[in-house]
Each structure stands twice: as structure tokens, then as C-alpha cells.
Amino acid sequence: MKRAAFYWIYCAGFVTIVAALVGSIGSETIAQGRSGDRVVQIPDPPQRPDGLGPQLVCGTPEPDPEKARLVEDYSLRFRGGAATALKPIGPIQVYVHVIRSSSGSGGVTSQQITQQIDVLNAAYASSGFSFTVASTDTTNNGTWYTCSGGSCETAMKTALHKGDASALNMYFNNMGGGLLGWATFPWDYASAPQMDGVVVLSSSLPGGNAAPYNLGDTATHEVGHWLGLYHTFQGGCNGNGDFVGDTPAERSPAFGCPVGRDSCVGRKNPGVDPITNFMDYTDDACMNTFSSGQDNRMNSMWTTYR
């Protein structure tokens, strides 16, 4: 009995230490790499090969290997090594923050917000998550309207954020820097609760003018990060990738809808690139899938961190 008690005290202490370390390693939101900046902008994004404008991207970070390892270790120990069974979670309360220019131009309509929530509910149905609007507020602020991270993001979120770790704060603005949006990860909440949430380009909502990214799946993608998913192309063809076993490795982001693309070949990397996965960079019309492994990961991360 004494030995068993000592074991559980040891495990509890280890988990507490790891949780503190995970929270203390920076919670930067950055695009395709690591930096001390919260968001790395792309002032001159490359043009799409099909001529449909610039290749817009997500500004959510790829964590450094040490933080990624700590996140996985803590989640595993929190759950006692057992997989988390899929179960209905929600409805998640969504606090919508519409940011317009100082003159009141821009923003999104109530119909677009309703359609966006419908898109999220359809995308996450198989994962067991559902969403409902808790409240909507509108702010006219020229600085926040074009905010692409940095001090303006901190000011905006500090003023507007609502709810606890289980609530989703969604900010809609007219960001620049070649970005469609960015998000925080669930394990960052403990160290920076006011920064938690997703920021999404207003024109990417259903009916917006950011074609071919205007069917609402930018928000689907960013909420995936908020629930603990990485990009499908994280790590390229080597290492742990996105830490999901059933998403084939992918050397780099896919744009458009390149059916049959296979950027990681060989026996170690079976399967073609997951171009229809919501966590890639393909067009909204091309995205329609979360894998079973991603469903399980989101549930595990929710249980662990939210």
C-alpha cells in the first residue's frame, strides 16, 4: 500500500511540473516557424499558381520540439495512458467579437455569423463537438480592425475576451500580412487566459469576398488548432509530424485542390497527401475531413486542457 501511494504521489507531482513547464514555454502565435513575435506577417505573399490571388495562410504556430514533447507527455499522463473515448461535447459557448473600422465600415452580418456556426457544427459533428453563439458584440476600432498580431491583439483581447477555458472567443477583423487567421492552443490557456481564442479574416466567412477561402472553413481550421490539432504538414516527411497516426505525412502545405499529390514517398510514408483535411491549406471547397485520429486527439486535448 505504501509503495502504491508513493507511486501515485510521484505521478501527480510529475504531471504538475510538466503542466507548469508547458505553460511557461512561450505561447507565441506565428506563421510557419518560430519567432519571438506573436504573429509573423507575410507582407508580399506569393501568388497562387491558378491566378486566383495570393496564397493566404494561417498564423498559428508550429511549436518547438521540446514544447510539443511536453504537451504530449502531459496529456498522456493526465489520461493515465488511456485513449479518450469520443463523446458529445457542447454546445461550446461562442463569444463573437465583430471588429469594424473606426468609421463603422467592414465587419460581418448576423446572417454570416449564423452560417459560420452552421459550418462549424457540420464540420465537427463526427468529432462530437457542437457550437452555439453565447453573445455577439461589435467594436469600431481602426487599429484592431487591421490587427495582425502584436500589441493590438493583446489590447483587443484584454478588452473583449469572455468566459473560461471551455468558451470559444472568435474575433472577426480585416487582418493583413497574408493571413487568413490564427489561434491559440488549449495548453496555452493556463499561462495567458485572456489571449485564448481564434482570430479570423471577416471576408472568409460564408458569403465573404476572400474566394476561394470564403465558405467558412478558415474558422473550421483555426478552431481545430484551438482544440489541439496541428497542421497536417507539420514536421514534413520526418519525425512525429502532427502527432496523429492516420494523417499521411506531407512535405509542405497544399494549395488549391491537387488531387493525388504525394509529397512524402517511400515505405515509411504510405498514402497520398491529406489535401481534403481541414488542417491543410487547400481551398475551402476542397476541405471536408477530420480523421478519426484527429477526432480522438481533440477529445483528449479537451479533457486534458479545457
d(CA 226, CA 38): 16
174 vs 8, 142, 177, 178, 304, CA distance in Å? 50, 10, 10, 11, 33
* b/e 34-63 (16+ beta carbons within 10 angstroms → b): eeeebbbbbeeeeeeeeeeeebbbbbbbbb
Is residue 62 annotated as a catalytic residue, yes or no?
no
DSSP bridge partners of 179 = 57
Amino acid at 35: S
Rounded CA-CA distance 260/199 in Å is 31
Q: Which of 28, 66, 153, 222 is catalytic?
A: 222
Active-site residue list: 222
